[in-house]
A and B are shown apart, each in its own frame.
Chain A
Amino acid sequence: MKRLLTTILAGITAAGMAMAADEKPAQEPIKIGAIFGVTGPAAFLGAPEAKTAEMLVDQLNAKGGLLGRKLQLVLKDSGGSPEKAVSFAKQLIEEDKVLAIIGPSTSGETMQIKPICENAKMILISCAAAEVIVNPLAKYVFKVPQKDSQAVTWIYNTMKAAGITKIGILSDNSGFGQAGKAQLEQLAKVQGMEIAADEVYDKAAKDLTDILTKVKARDVQAVVNWSIVPAQSIIPKNMKQIGLNVPLYQSHGFGNVKYVKAAGEAAEGIIFPSGRLLVAESLPADNPQKAVLMAYKHDYESRYKEDVSTFGGHAYDAVLVLTSAIQKAGSTDRDKVRDAIETLKGLPGTAGIFNFSPEDHNGLALDAFEMLTVKDGKFAEYKK
């Protein structure tokens, strides 16, 4: 028994020594950690984000990398689970000793690792939308998607211009839907909108005629729906079926041509706020975002043979913000890079023009959004 234990102990110790002894090359690559929900319930966000990040790092390396060093992406698939995001964040911080972490895809995961990154003084550039990520402000935590409140402000402004004041709100029971619902309710008071109906449904619902009939009975002038797939395409169809012929407004989550195709003709005339990625071709040539948007769209679609989505664009922006800051700092010292992010001004990304500051770790203004509509099965700018 004693001999067996000694053998086991010796074996474990030897294995540990062997692992410690691996040597490091002279010119190390700059390591960037990434946590995305490539599989699981958030795959519609995580999959295009992971592809985009891989593509960008490959492109930068083909051009010789940054500061004469190659970039290395350490990609982790969290499956949308917070406990994995926690494990991976600690791994990236302590073992891989990455310069910064981009992601996670969802607000829930981001909030779980926000304190971990802040305590470890690790730069985190989140691809999730919730406002709480940057408010209260954490010194090392940034985010690149537009805020929900900005999307809601755009919707209400557009409604008021069209003379609409009495509306019905629909939202699904996902985190995205509930965050949007909270903003819609809060800003309705400020903007003087009357919410005549406020309904929540299951995110996997296949038919929503029942709650739409309820909304119809309240005599609303317009309907706002805040949800993820597939309800975004079911609601316009159901509205036509029950003869609820009022304008339908949706969230910025509608920004993928797939959802238009799923809704068919019923999608015509849907109005929603979005970044400019979806209408990149029709932007005037002097738009500062046009070059970035066209390049991303072309590169992504030719490499992966699938339509570009605004979600992948968040990963694009996260890599862009980080690499711009490394270049500006002229160093891979983490604190210098963090400081450099706060000084980035007028940086065109896919979500908008970024203007970071020590008080604003999102850097996007209201003009990051534009109102789009569906015309002949395609996205087009909405004009009153």
Chain B
Amino acid sequence: MRPRPLVPVLAAALAVVALQVAVTAAGREYYLTQTIMAAYYAVVALGLCLVMGYAGQISLGHAAFFSLGGYTSAVLTTADLTPLARSGWGGPLLRLHLLQARAGLYGGETIGANPWAAFGGALLLTFAVALLVGYPALRLKGHYLAMATLGFGLIVYRLLLGTNLTGAADGITGVPPWRLGFGLEISGDGAQRIANYYVAWGLVLFTILLLTHIVHSRAGRAFRALHGGETAANSMGINTAAYKLRAFVLSALLAAAAGSMLTHYSGGIGPSEASAMKSVRYVALVAAGGMANLWGVLVVSATLNFLSLRGCFGSYDDALFGALLIAIVSLAPEGPLQPLTAQGRRLWSRLAGHRVMTTPEGPAP
């Protein structure tokens, strides 16, 4: 049976709208603040889900890709590019809207990059870096990607801490709003909160749609074969290295896009976003969500990040994510939600009144 990804995505879209209507009706719109932030982190986890659950590789550098996106946007939009604008290049750059003037918080006016241009730059840079890290590591067999990305993540973290351009330990603040057109903008402005909620969750649903499409396409079948056995897949004529690299680069781009957008929403970014603990967190969320289960990863990562950002775990925040990873790896390596989702599917088919074979959607672990 070929699953139709549109139905669950539409249902999820309805749930997103319902949540907004409910919190607005209850006069508790402030819940959306952490829901928005959790949505962007969920996009990182979803991208990582493709790499871990489907291509069977582990990346311990996704926090670094997230901050690569965030920092590129932050640096380009906050840097004072007035000298560039006054030079011969200034005219064409301003006419193409690659540069924009903005009022400083404490008076004065500076010229920085247009957030769209900065976003494009962030994606280009991430694309190049992900290729550079992934290309050699993914041609080898085994968990070389985990090692390469761990090293890469540590390097990025150290560079951010040691570079004045990225604000060293203090990070970058004063990132301007990103005007998307139609009166929408990505910013922390309270009046724009509902719009930001839909932008963030729009990105989440777009990501799910994109990834389900990939998973159910020719590439998806290749991933499943690859996950089942790399040698077998190779002998069937599947270019496993190329498929793994594509999955890795795409997930890095998703992480960078989320990082860039969240930076505009928060108005800044700090080096803690690039720490190794953050990367481990994303891995833990994907494992907890059931590895090759996009909806499971979405639910688990959005819920846990929402609670974490509201400070529900207090001082035990990092400990909780570490314990979660250990518990899942040792007690339920196929993901704790797997039995639940199988049950749910059985229940669903009984409710829907027709019999469906209960095969897991993803590859067998």
Contacts and interface: CB of A to CB of B under 8 A. Distances in A.
Contacts of B28: 16, 19-20
Interface residues of A, number: 50
B147 interface: no
Nearest to A108: B170
A129 to B, nearest CB: 12
A82 B268 contact: yes
B311 A77 contact: yes
A86 to B, nearest CB: 5
A114 B106 CA distance: 12
B334 to A, nearest CB: 27
A9 B15 CA distance: 8
A1 interface: yes
Nearest to B262: A83
B331 interface: no
B30 A95 contact: yes
B11 A15 contact: no
Contacts of A1: 11, 352
Contacts of B21: 13
A79 B15 CA distance: 32
A82 B272 contact: yes
Nearest to B271: A108
Contacts, number: 130
B11 A5 contact: yes
Contacts of B318: 39-40, 79
Contacts of A81: 270, 272-273
Interface string A82-107: 11101110110011000000000011
A91 B311 contact: yes
B139 interface: no
Contacts of A38: 315
A116 interface: yes
Interface stretch (A149-157, A172-180, A255-263, A350-358): A172-180
A86 B268 contact: yes
Looking at chain A's contact residues, the main secondary structure is: helix
B103 interface: no
Nearest to B173: A111
Most buried by A among B19, B28, B272, B273: B272
Contact of B15 (A8, A16, A91): A8
A116 B161 CA distance: 24
A116 B267 contact: yes
A243 interface: no
B121 interface: no
A363 B269 CA distance: 29
Interface in B118-170: 161-162, 167-170
A351 to B, nearest CB: 21
Given A108-B170, A174-B169, A83 B18 contact: no
Looking at chain B's contact residues, the main secondary structure is: helix
B221 interface: no
Given A5-B11, A86-B268, A87-B310, A107 B170 contact: yes
B274 to A, nearest CB: 11
A116 B188 contact: yes
Given A76-B311, A77-B314, A91-B33, A16 B170 contact: no
A84 B25 contact: no
Contact of B266 (A91, A95, A112): A112
A40 B170 CA distance: 15
Nearest to A174: B169
Given A19-B26, A39-B318, A108-B169, A82 B161 contact: no
Interface residues of B, number: 46
A368 to B, nearest CB: 23
A83 B30 contact: no
Contacts of B84: none
A82 B171 contact: yes
B245 to A, nearest CB: 30
A312 interface: no
A16 B22 contact: yes
A162 interface: no
A17 interface: yes
B266 A86 contact: yes
A175 B272 contact: no
A118 B167 CA distance: 21
Contacts of B174: 115
B30 A16 contact: no
B22 to A, nearest CB: 4
B341 interface: no
B267 A20 contact: no
B323 interface: no
A12 B162 contact: no
A115 B173 CA distance: 9
Given A8-B15, A90-B33, A115-B173, A83 B272 contact: yes
A4 interface: yes
B206 to A, nearest CB: 22
Nearest to A47: B315
Contacts of B169: 106, 108, 173-176, 178
B195 interface: no
Given A15-B22, A107-B170, A87 B34 contact: yes
A81 B321 CA distance: 16
Contacts of A148: none
Given A79-B318, A111-B170, 9 more contacts: A39-B317, A77-B314, A81-B270, A81-B273, A106-B169, A112-B266, A173-B169, A175-B169, A175-B170
25 contacts: A9-B18, A13-B21, A17-B26, A39-B317, A39-B318, A40-B272, A81-B270, A82-B266, A82-B268, A83-B262, A83-B270, A87-B33, A90-B30, A90-B188, A106-B170, A108-B169, A108-B171, A109-B270, A111-B171, A111-B268, A112-B173, A115-B105, A116-B188, A137-B106, A173-B168
Interface of B: 11, 14-15, 18-19, 21-23, 25-28, 30, 33-34, 37, 105-106, 161-162, 167-171, 173-174, 188, 190, 262, 266-270, 272-273, 309-311, 314-315, 317-318, 351-352
Interface of A: 1, 4-5, 8-9, 12-13, 15-17, 19-20, 38-40, 76-77, 79-84, 86-88, 90-91, 94-95, 106-109, 111-112, 114-116, 118, 120, 130, 136-138, 173-176, 178
* A-B pairs, 9 with minimum CB distance: A175-B169, A16-B26, A82-B270, A108-B170, A81-B272, A136-B106, A94-B30, A16-B22, A20-B26
